[in-house]
Amino acid sequence: MTVHFPFQNSYSALPDSFFARVAPTPVAAPRLIKLNRPLAVQLGLDPDLLETPEGAEILAGKTVPAGADPIAMAYAGHQFGHFVPQLGDGRAILLGEVIDRDGIRRDIQLKGSGPTPFSRRGDGRAALGPVLREYIVSEAMFALGIPTTRSLAAVVTGEHVIRETALPGAVLTRVASSHIRVGTFQFFAVRRDTEAIRRLADHVITRHYPELLTAERPYHALLAGVVARQADLVARWLLVGFIHGVMNTDNTSISGETIDYGPCAFMDAYNPAQVFSSIDEMGRYAYANQPRIALWNLTRLAECLLPLFSDDQEKAIAEAQDILGAFAETFTAAYQAGLRKKLGLFTERDGDEALIQDLLDAMAKNQADFTLTFRRLGDAAGDEAGVAHVRAQFMDPSAFDDWAKRWCERTALEPQTAAERQAAMHAVNPLFIPRNHRVEAVIQAAVNNDDYGPFEEMVKVLAKPYQDQPDYAAYADPPLPDQRVLQTFCGT
């Protein structure tokens, strides 16, 4: 049987200036590493057929399936604050769109599938390590309940790519609500193509914000919608200790999904100034800077939309500023509500924010592990014996003791039982995250030994981040001093 993708191609029906038509470059000997079978079923695809050699050829870009209309999307972007008027998909090709079982339109894109007109002298390929990292982290984010692009498959190509050295080549099949970014709007704004901006905005509203089709001021409402989704998204990142690492405007999705897992990482010890990305030398995208940068990126989107707001620029700017002003309130509400849940607080009371901040300050001062502190606090909520495990996260355990008395007094004001509080806390405080040292070990096993056993096991564990998994308890452990990963790399 032939592998069938029920493709639709709404984006490639837009004007030619939105993309370049380009086919994937065939590879020598594609071999499927991993197929995300549940996601394949959700997309209406046949996982058994995708696991055949024919399926591997499609997922590697060697064969273009019937109904696909392969394109590389055009976009611009601010990279570390510096504007680049033309970026675009330099190593990714959108095959088409499918309607999933929930009626949601999803892009299917090959990443690492060869050069495009936007490659800027690059080879358009991907090395195995970054492909595995994106598969692991994006699927972990999905399991954590955070809006994200997803990974359908990873394939090795049978070819090498040259970076600092020769590395195994690979292709990731990425699935997204769409790949439209703030930078997509910037591409047309810098060219003063207001009609293209309008076409793009109309497309985004129809696809991602259909409730706005009848709005009195749909473009204002679009900006407000993107602001709300990004504010909520970044709050969710902070609540699990996630650092994107490269929050350029071309990596900021209009749909509100996490996109482009390059030098991303999860914190071990809590540190608001934590940076892992080797290219973020000034700490622009540090953990605690992410809300501010998200608003900066959204301001760039607002600038693009000004011509759609009003012919009177001063009026348009004032209206945009008013909409952007909602970001701080939306983010703070989502973040504080999430932190209260992490502490097992069911109601909102005066003093809660100070209680939360004092814990975070003590964690930072004592290098407490972010993930385990909150998880073990949940253990302690249901069993006093668990207090020792929380104390163990702090260099000076007395710093926790002083705070814990206040926490116990605060939780005593609520009627929930200890078991109810513990269950609620465990539902929002993961035990398992993609620890950087674990991800690196997985990559090394695959790259050096062609061993995907560690990859398979890690993906399995991270699919259930909130559940105790005694057989895999070691995956919850922070790194030993000699295991710490101090830098992550973009992988391009």
Catalytic residues, by residue number, are 250
Q: Which amino acid is present at 62?
A: K
Q: How many CB atoms lie within 10 A of CB 322?
A: 11
Structure tokens at 428: 């929002």
Structure tokens at 118: 């936007």
Q: Is 357 helix (H, G, I), strand (E, B) or coil?
A: helix
Q: Which amino acid is present at 159?
A: E
Q: Which amino acid is present at 209?
A: Y
CA dihedral 170, 176, 178, 182 (to 10 degrees): -80
Distance CA 403, CA 414 (A): 18
Torsional class of 145: left (φ above 0), alpha (ψ -120 to 50), beta (otherwise): left
Distance CA 258, CA 150 (A): 9
Distance CA 205, CA 108 (A): 20
Torsional class of 245: left (φ above 0), alpha (ψ -120 to 50), beta (otherwise): left
Distance CA 400, CA 374 (A): 12
Angle at 64 between CA 61 and CA 69, to 5 degrees: 110
Cα 470 to chain centroid distance, Å, stands at: 28
Q: Are 338 and 235 in contact (CB under 8 A)?
A: yes
By residue count, the chain amounts to 492
